[in-house]
């Protein structure tokens, strides 16, 4: 955008200061002039000796007064003009100084340097508020960009792993004349399945982040039941009992994404559970203040409170990793977080004192006006 450069704000402020000062000066002088006119007669009879005059007669006092008054008034106005211009220029400069700091910071940010902050000193005023808001925005942007970079690096790394494993399997098989072809197929197939799972999880994540899905009325309790039914065989295999609780829990959103959310939470609750006699509690609830609430709670090993908050980052896995055929790709909770955010909900992870995790997802109740 190449716009013609207009007069600077400093100049415009200076001119308005000086202009106002001149106007006030003119008004004041006019008032003085009117005052003088009221008390000074048009003509006066001067008697010699009484006022130091030498001649007597009738004198036009007023026209003399004008001669005396006009040059002085002009001098006062000239002084006010100079004073207004100089003072205005200095004052405007002082007022606008924070703006140039903001401009510098914006220029730096637009060249990609997001680590710079304005950090405007002084008391809270309009400029300070703007600068603080700008700093907050920069901090969020910086965090977002570095999160994206981390994500891209991690995703590339995770995508490379199955390819590297396939290559190793193929290399070993080629070098071995007595290779077991079926075993090679099995291993390649397993690696391939995992790579597909990972790619699908990545696609799902980006779909949830785009927020481009149709919203419909959904009963969260039915969704939870559906997910529990699907995962029942896995739970039985691992000796985990699932207890579901809750009546009709209406909310709005994408049925498919919400099902994915509950499935991921339930899958985690089963997989990251005690080796035997684990329990998973799934409940849905309607709350007057927060709408629909889903809670998934499970027994398990102790979870540190500090890393619990970072578990929702992509590819973040806890220490006690679930191995074997149901190890996740590390995107389960990241997908849950994205789906929750896309539904304007809140996700809370709380480690249970006895071990395991309690996860709540608060969603809004359906908008009564949108019913159609
Ligand atoms: N219900 C849970 N109980 C205990 N730990 C959990 C639970 N859900 C997730 N976690 C921890 O959070 C980590 C991240 O979970 P997730 O994003 O689903 O990745 P993944 O399951 O693929 O490892 C897991 O590795 C696990 O350590
Ligand atoms: Mg998982």
How much is the average pLDDT of 10-36?
93
Give the pLDDT score at 320: 55
The ligand that comes nearest to the alpha carbon of residue 322 is 1
Helix (H) or strand (E) holding 292: strand 291-298
Give the pLDDT score at 327: 66
Residue 352: pLDDT band with limits 50, 70, 90? very high
In the predicted model, what is the mean pLDDT of the chain?
88
Ligand 1 mean position to 304 CA, how many Å? 12
Task: Report residue 143 as tokens.
Answer: 């965090």
Reply yes or no on whether the pLDDT at 269 is more than 90: yes
How much is the average pLDDT of 305-310?
77
Residue 372: pLDDT band with limits 50, 70, 90? very low
Reply yes or no on whether the pLDDT at 53 is more than 60: no
| Architecture of domain 216-363 in this structure | 2-Layer Sandwich (3.30)
Contact 198 CB / ligand 1 (< 6 Å): no
Cα 21 from Cα 15, distance rounded (Å): 10
Contact 231, 242 (CB under 8 A): yes
Atom of ligand 1 nearest to the CA of 312: 17
For a mutational test of ligand 1's pocket, the pick from 311, 315, 321, 360, i.e. the residue with the most ligand atoms closer than 8 A to its C-beta, is 311
Reply yes or no on whether the pLDDT at 297 is more than 60: yes
Cα 67 from Cα 81, distance rounded (Å): 22
Cα 331 from Cα 197, distance rounded (Å): 10
Domain residue ranges of the chain, discontinuous segments joined by +? 9-113, 150-210, 216-363
Reply yes or no on whether the pLDDT at 51 is more than 90: no
For 56-87, write each residue's pLDDT tens digit: 677 777 778 888 889 999 999 999 999 999 99
Ligand 1 mean position to 236 CA, how many Å? 19
Atom of ligand 1 nearest to the CA of 332: 18
Reply yes or no on whether the pLDDT at 369 is more than 50: yes
Give the pLDDT score at 366: 77
Give the pLDDT score at 371: 46
Cα 43 from Cα 158, distance rounded (Å): 105
pTM of the model: 0.72
Give the pLDDT score at 112: 86
Residue 122's region, left for phi above 0, alpha for psi from -120 to 50, else beta, is left
Q: What is the residue-wise DSSP string for 138-181? A: HHHHHHHHHHHHHHHHHHHHHHHHHHHHHHHHHHHHHH-TT--H
Ligand 2 mean position to 268 CA, how many Å? 5
Reply yes or no on whether the pLDDT at 326 is more than 60: no
Of 55-64, 107-116, 283-292, 302-311, the range with the lowest mean pLDDT is 55-64
Bridge partners of 194, per DSSP, are none
- Between residues 292 and 304, the one the model is more confident about: 292
CB proximity list for 168: less than 8 A, separation 6 or greater? none
Give the pLDDT score at 10: 92
Contact 314 CB / ligand 1 (< 6 Å): no
């Amino acid at each position: 955008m190449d716009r013609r450069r207009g007069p600077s704000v400093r100049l415009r402020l200076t001119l308005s200061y000086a202009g106002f000062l001149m106007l006030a000066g003119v008004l004041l002088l006019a008032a003085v002039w009117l005052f003088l006119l009221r008390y000074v007669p048009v003509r006066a009879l001067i008697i010699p000796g009484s006022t130091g005059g030498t001649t007597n007669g009738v004198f036009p006092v007023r026209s003399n007064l004008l001669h005396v008054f006009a040059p002085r008034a002009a001098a006062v106005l000239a002084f006010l003009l100079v004073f207004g211009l100089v003072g205005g220029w200095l004052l405007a400069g002082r007022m606008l100084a924070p703006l140039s700091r903001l401009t510098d910071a914006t220029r730096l940010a637009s060249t990609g340097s997001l680590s710079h902050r304005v950090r405007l000193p002084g008391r809270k005023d309009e400029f300070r508020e703007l600068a603080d808001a700008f700093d907050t925005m920069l901090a969020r942007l910086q965090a977002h960009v570095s999160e994206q970079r981390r994500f891209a690096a991690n995703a590339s790394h995770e995508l490379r792993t199955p390819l590297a494993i396939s290559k190793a399997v193929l290399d070993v098989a080629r070098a071995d004349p007595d290779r077991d072809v079926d075993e090679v197929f099995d291993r390649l197939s397993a690696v391939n399945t995992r790579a597909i799972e990972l790619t699908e999880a990545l696609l799902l994540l980006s779909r949830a982040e785009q927020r481009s899905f149709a919203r419909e009325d959904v009963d969260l309790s039915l969704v939870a039941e559906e997910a529990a039914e699907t995962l029942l065989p896995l739970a039985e295999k691992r000796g985990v009992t699932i207890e579901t609780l809750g009546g009709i829990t209406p909310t709005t959103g994408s049925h498919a994404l919400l099902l994915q959310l509950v499935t991921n939470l339930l899958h985690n609750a089963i997989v990251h559970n005690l080796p035997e006699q684990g329990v998973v509690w799934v409940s849905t609830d309607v709350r007057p203040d927060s709408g629909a609430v889903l809670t998934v709670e499970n027994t398990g090993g102790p979870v540190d409170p500090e890393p619990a908050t970072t578990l929702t980052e992509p590819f973040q896995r806890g220490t006690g990793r679930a191995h074997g055929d149901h190890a996740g790709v590390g995107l389960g909770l990241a997908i849950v977080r994205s789906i929750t955010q896309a539904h304007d909900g809140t996700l809370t992870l709380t480690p249970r004192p006895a071990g395991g995790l309690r996860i709540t997802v608060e969603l809004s109740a359906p908008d009564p006006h949108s019913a159609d």
